Amino acid sequence: MAETATALRGKALLKKAKELANLPRRELAKACGYYTTTKGGETRVNLTDFYDALLEARGIALDPEAKKSTRGREASYRVSVHQNGQLVIGSTYTQAMGLKPGDEFEIKLGYKHIHLIQVDESDKDGETEAA
């Protein structure tokens, strides 16, 4: 089984790379821990991971999209009317607003738009007292 060295990251990597700047790039990557040793004793230097770690340590994100979650869909902020005439607001939007089951809204219709106004607990109490 291949053995992997503990690779330096962040400030430690930058410091070591600066100290050993006179070395060839393969030796530098190996000195910073970016290599594996195979069963046969062969050492393989992983320059790609080394360069990626250097760029990350300097604050340059090569692939920011890769860190995003791949589960689910991204919110489009659009809904359509279903066949039965209902509008469904997805959980993405309700979670973003911090809504809980049982929260109530007042519906206000406008010209080509619908406003949902959240009814506060204090508003509910005021309505019951006035009624």
Q: What is the mean pLDDT of residues 115-129?
A: 71
Structure tokens at 76: 């489009």
Bridge partners, residue 36, by sequence = 4, 44
**Cα dist. 6→31, 50, 56 in Å?**
10, 12, 17
pLDDT tens digit sequence for 88-117: 888 888 888 888 889 999 999 999 899 989
**Domain range annotation of the chain:** 10-67
Which helix or strand (DSSP H or E) is residue 81 part of? none
Q: Would the pTM count as exceeding 0.75?
A: no
Using one digit for the tens of pLDDT, what is the confidence trace for 9-68? 888 888 888 888 898 888 988 888 888 888 888 888 888 888 888 888 888 876 656 555
